[in-house]
């Protein structure tokens, strides 16, 4: 059973979808519904006032026909604009200006009897604001207000006759049933207008809530999509303010670098479909583990992975190094599980990965052109981690002395001695991490 709230929600969703359509189409659809309503209202006004003896029917007939003609013109011009893809705003403003002139004309010809009809002015302005946007609503309200002011100035200047549709000599006569009916119609219009305004406010609130929900969902999807291409820590930092990300600064970070052994041969011997699955499985597993330890995935290049700890979010040097080591050991274990899965699936893809870690001062921030930027780290530690990785035993983790000093009390290790690295002036003491100790 559909509840009233669910029904309102469905209607609000449908209305929200309608509001997103082109302006000429929205105007045409509204005029299709408005023209029968205008005809019905004109008939009721004509029927109740024709026998009242208070209204000059010839003048009122002209006014009612003018209103019907305005709506019919709006319907025709909006459908033509829809079919021929004309710009929507000019058509909308012309239609609003014409209908505003009709409302003001009705106020003029009926004088004080038209007071309830003034409710049409804010109702039309509000509906236009909801459907076509605030500018359309303000345009409708402003146009009507200006026309009313001009009309009243002309009336007080005796340029225009006051209430030409009303027989002033008959107003004081004994009222008959038709006279009462003709007086009730404007009052009924006032009540209906008030109800319409109230429902419009409720609908606008419901529509606004739906729009906010849709925008929140769009933002969530966009955020999730961006995180697939940009490190999540960088996304969070940009959303939080961004100054710490865009500015270049020196930071002491721990850098992790890994590379698949024999990747070129793997590409050569495997079918593209199998290679695609293997790489997707591998990078998915590595990414999930990196996120588990809050590492910033800076690069996924070919078969290489570069992950930062300490930028853009930071805690302390020891924590950065500990998380990097735990992550690397977890990754090596995950590679073993992936190899078993691929073997069970009949895929010949035994993978071995070299991993290395270094800790040092680098420059982090956005690098690139004004049109395309990338968050990155530049410095000796990045170079050392990449060079150390080439010396690591496949399936093992090699760390530099600065990293070792931060984690030595928490790991089982084997010292590997000093190594000379290309591009590094001094020998690097290295250690192979075997496991974390309790």
Taking phi over 0 as left and psi of -120 to 50 as alpha, with beta for the rest, 404 belongs to alpha
> Token pair for residue 19?
């509001």
| Mean pLDDT of all residues in 19-32 | 86
Counting beta carbons within 10 angstroms of the beta carbon of residue 35, is it exposed (0 to 12), middle (13 to 18) or buried (19 or more)? middle
Alpha helix segments (H runs only) across 243-366: 243-246, 263-269, 272-292, 317-344
CA-nearest of 408, 381, 396, 401 to 432 is 396
Q: Say yes or no to pLDDT of 358 above 90.
A: yes
| Mean pLDDT of all residues in 279-300 | 90
Confidence of residue 47 (pLDDT cuts 50, 70, 90): confident
CA distance 355 to 78: 67
| Mean pLDDT of all residues in 184-211 | 60
Confidence of residue 206 (pLDDT cuts 50, 70, 90): low
From first CA to last CA, the distance across the chain in angstroms is 59
- Name which CATH class applies to 243-436: alpha beta
Q: How far are the Cα atoms of 64, 236, 257, 309, 411 from residue 319, in angstroms, in the given order?
A: 80, 20, 18, 9, 14
Evaluate whether 155 touches 108 at the Cβ level (below 8 Å): yes
| Mean pLDDT of all residues in 252-272 | 90
Q: Say yes or no to pLDDT of 29 above 60.
A: yes
Q: Which residues are CB-contacts of 97 (< 8 A; sequence separation ≥ 6)?
A: 143
Q: How far are the Cα atoms of 222, 230, 281, 389 from residue 226, in angstroms, in the given order?
A: 6, 6, 20, 29
For the stretch 57-79, pLDDT in tens is 888 889 889 989 999 999 999 99
Q: How far are the Cα atoms of 4, 91, 99, 130, 424 from residue 204, in angstroms, in the given order?
A: 16, 24, 23, 7, 66
CA-nearest of 27, 162, 163, 30 to 83 is 27
Angle, helices 232-240 vs 177-227, to 10°: value is 130
CA dihedral 33, 39, 45, 48 (to 10 degrees): -120
Q: In this structure, is the dihedral angle defined by the CA atoms of residues 384, 385, 389 and 395, taken in order, positive or negative?
A: positive
- The model's pTM is 0.53
- Residue 392's pLDDT is what? 95
For the stretch 235-253, pLDDT in tens is 566 555 555 555 688 999 9
Query: Residue with structure tokens 């570069």?
Result: 306
Q: Say yes or no to pLDDT of 197 above 80.
A: no
Q: Say yes or no to pLDDT of 353 above 90.
A: yes
Structural domain spans, the chain: 4-225, 243-436
């Amino acid at each position: 059973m559909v509840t009233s709230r669910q029904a309102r929600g469905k209607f609000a969703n449908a209305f929200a979808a309608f509001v997103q359509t082109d302006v000429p189409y929205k105007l045409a659809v509204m005029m299709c519904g408005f023209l029968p309503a205008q005809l019905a209202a004109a008939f009721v006004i004509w029927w109740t006032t024709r026998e009242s003896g208070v209204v000059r029917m010839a003048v009122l007939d002209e006014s009612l026909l003018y209103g019907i003609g305005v709506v019919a013109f709006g319907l025709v011009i909006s459908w033509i604009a829809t079919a021929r893809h004309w710009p929507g705003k000019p058509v909308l403003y012309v239609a609003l200006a014409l209908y505003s002139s009709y409302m003001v004309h009705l106020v003029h010809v009926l004088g004080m009897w038209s007071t309830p009809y003034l409710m049409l002015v804010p109702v039309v302005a509000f509906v236009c604001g909801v459907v076509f946007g605030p500018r359309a609503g303000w345009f409708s309200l402003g146009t009507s207000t200006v026309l009313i002011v001009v009309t009243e100035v002309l009336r007080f200047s005796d340029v225009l006759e006051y209430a030409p549709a009303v027989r002033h000599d008959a107003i004081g006569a004994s009222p008959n049933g038709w006279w009462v009916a003709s007086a009730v119609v404007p009052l009924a219009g006032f009540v209906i207008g008030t109800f319409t305004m109230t429902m419009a406010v409720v609908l606008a609130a419901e529509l606004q809530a739906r729009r906010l929900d849709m925008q929140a969902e769009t933002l969530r999807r966009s955020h999730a999509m961006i995180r697939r291409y940009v490190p999540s820590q960088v996304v969070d930092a940009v959303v939080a303010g961004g100054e710490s990300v865009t500015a270049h600064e020196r930071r002491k970070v721990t850098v992790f670098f890994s590379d698949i052994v024999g990747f070129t041969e793997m590409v050569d011997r495997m079918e593209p479909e199998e290679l695609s699955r293997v790489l997707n499985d591998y990078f998915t597993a590595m990414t999930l583990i990196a996120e588990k330890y809050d590492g910033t995935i800076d690069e996924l290049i070919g078969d290489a992975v570069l992950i930062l700890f300490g930028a853009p979010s930071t805690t302390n040097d020891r924590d950065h190094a500990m998380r990097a080591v735990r992550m690397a050991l977890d990754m090596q274990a995950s590679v073993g599980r992936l190899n078993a899965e691929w073997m069970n699936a009949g895929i010949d893809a035994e993978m071995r990965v070299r991993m290395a870690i270094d800790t040092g001062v680098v420059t982090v921030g956005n690098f690139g052109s004004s049109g395309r930027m990338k968050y990155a780290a530049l410095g000796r530690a990045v170079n050392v981690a990449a060079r150390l990785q080439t010396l690591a035993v496949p399936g093992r983790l090699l760390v530099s002395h600065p990293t070792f000093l931060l984690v030595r009390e928490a790991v089982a290790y084997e010292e590997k001695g000093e190594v000379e690295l290309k591009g590094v002036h001094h020998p690097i003491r290295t250690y192979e991490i075997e496991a974390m100790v309790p």
